[in-house]
Amino acid sequence: MLIRLKIKNLAVLKDIELDFDSGLTVISGESGAGKSMIIEAIRYLYGKRASVEDIRHETEGAVIEGVFDFPESEKMQDLLAKNDIEEDELYIVRREVMQNRKSIIKINSHMITLGALKEIMDEVVSIHSQSSQSEALEHSMHIRYLDRYIDMADREAFGKYRDSFERFKALEARISELEYKDKNRVQQLQMYQHQYEELTGMELEEGEEERLEEEISYLDNFEKINNTLSLIHSQLSSEYAPQTLLYDIHGHIETLANYDESYREFSDTVLEAYHLLNELDSRVGSDLSTLDYDEESLNAKQARLSSLNSLKRKYNKTLDELIDYRRALADDIEQLENIAQSFDALEKKKDKMLKQMEKHAKELHDYRIEQKHFLENRIKKELQDLDMPEADFEISVREATFDSRGYSGVEFLISTNAGEPLKAMNRIASGGEIARVMLALRTIFTEFDAQSMLILDEIDTGVSGFVATRMAEKMQILSRTRQVISISHLPQAAALADHHLYVSKETMDQRTASSAKYLDADDHVYEIARMLSGSDITDAALENAKTLIAAKEKETN
């Protein structure tokens, strides 16, 4: 849930800080007062793309900061870990939208991308507005609603279908690739053969580059290596060689150990050092006798390394990638030389996968037909609660083309009045009917949502009377299990609110700025009366407001 919201220089919101609580918060105020900009600020924290148009005029930028209590879920834990954000009791989400530089996004002072913010906040908040209602009425959304209600994603057949679908699409892509290659087969084959011969002729070996660099470095430093070996050999072969001294010291220690046993432990160490220096002397002497500077070998190695670097630049690949590319070229050449056989093999695999797809897709299709009445009946009940007793609702499930969910074409059909034929939902003309259908869907699917916070942005526009009362009641029901923040024009919703936030604006020094405050009991009554009767607030409106509030208090008690 959202605990605190700070907004600075976002359009008419110059400097606002608000605390939020659980339950239903209704935001009201005069038209143009800045209510929608508060929701817009939350949209920025949700992952809206930055727009300099939203920055307050003559300021450097806008800053929006929200303090959230994130839901404790396995997915949220995975998302936080994925973005290197430590788990905490509260999370501060901050957006800085600047005029002359890119937007900055942080969670608990840790910078993240816009995509990561959207992914995380999808688990925290759900925002619904009139525009999102239109999106949800789209035909493509209906199968998602149905599948979610009947737990399609948990069915074994769904996982098998998705797997076979992905394999089928991969085979299609491979066949298309071969078809393209076949059109240019001769030229393609010649190019691949030339590249393969060039790479094969180079006799590339893994690790060769590092080995050449080491050998070249050795030969480049031959004189220094020779002088150093000679110096070591001279010191180890001198009259006062360190190993001779160590041998003498070992003898003295042995004598001491006869009288003081604690010296015994040094004896073996000194003797080991003596033998080690003898081995070193032998190795240095051997290396000196075989050491030989070979200028031809150095030139050959440098030329080889230069050739390898030229090849890497030409193909824009590392040496290891060139070796892998040579193997891939061999496969491509074989396929192009035997393209007919390749086509035949892939087509057989594709046909086999298509049969698997059809089998699993039919299981999904039949299950949707078998289970759809559960969602149909639930939506009818919700519509009746929203004063649409004559509404009829049906989910059409027909065979269509394959996609990632099978071959079912799912469409919601509705008749809002008795005697009228069922029509597609996107052909409903009344904004009030659309609002009720979407609130019904929202009420149903809130049970499935992981988000603990729901934003309703003027979804009740065009609704009044008894329907308004039922919509307000639905908002209150939703708020029992999650935080609900709603911009509403309904006095019924304001009366049922647990918290009533009023937004107003004023002009000072020829600049307009909005302010927001939570209403006390008296102002709460007054604002509901304004929502009932407009600017001319009558005694009757005030009494009606008190009646609405009393009804809510009576229900609470």
pLDDT per residue, tens digit, the chain (557 aa), is 999 999 999 999 999 999 999 999 999 988 888 898 999 999 999 988 888 889 998 888 999 999 999 988 888 999 999 999 999 999 999 999 998 888 899 999 999 999 999 999 988 988 877 666 565 567 888 998 899 899 998 999 999 999 999 999 999 998 888 777 777 777 788 888 899 999 888 888 888 888 888 878 777 776 777 778 788 888 888 777 888 888 888 888 888 888 888 888 888 888 888 899 888 888 888 777 776 666 677 788 888 888 888 888 988 988 889 999 999 898 888 877 777 677 888 899 999 999 999 999 999 999 999 999 999 999 999 888 888 888 889 999 999 999 999 999 999 998 888 888 898 877 775 666 777 777 788 778 776 665 678 888 887 766 677 777 888 888 888 888 889 999 988 898 999 999 999 999 888 878 888 999 999 999 999 999 998 887 778 888 899 889 888 877 666 55
Which residue segment(s) compose the domain that 301 sits in? 185-337
Counted domains in the chain = 1
Provide the pLDDT for residue 64.
95
- Per-residue tokens: 29: 């105020």
| 245 lies in some domain | yes
CA–CA dist 279, 439 (Å, integer) = 88
Residues in CB range of 263: below 8 A, 6 or more apart: 253, 256, 257
Find where tokens 């009377």 sit.
Answer: 465
Provide the pLDDT for residue 538.
82
Q: 56's torsion region: left (phi>0), alpha (psi -120 to 50) or beta?
A: beta
| 263 lies in some domain | yes
Q: What are the distances in angstroms from CA 148 to CA 15, 357, 447?
A: 41, 21, 11
Burial 226-257 (b: 16+ CB within 10 A, else e): eeebeebbeebeeeebebeebbebbeebeeee
Provide the pLDDT for residue 215.
76
Provide the pLDDT for residue 240.
78
Provide the pLDDT for residue 205.
85
First-residue to last-residue Cα distance in the chain: 26
Provide the pLDDT for residue 132.
60
| 21 lies in some domain | no
What's the pTM?
A: 0.61
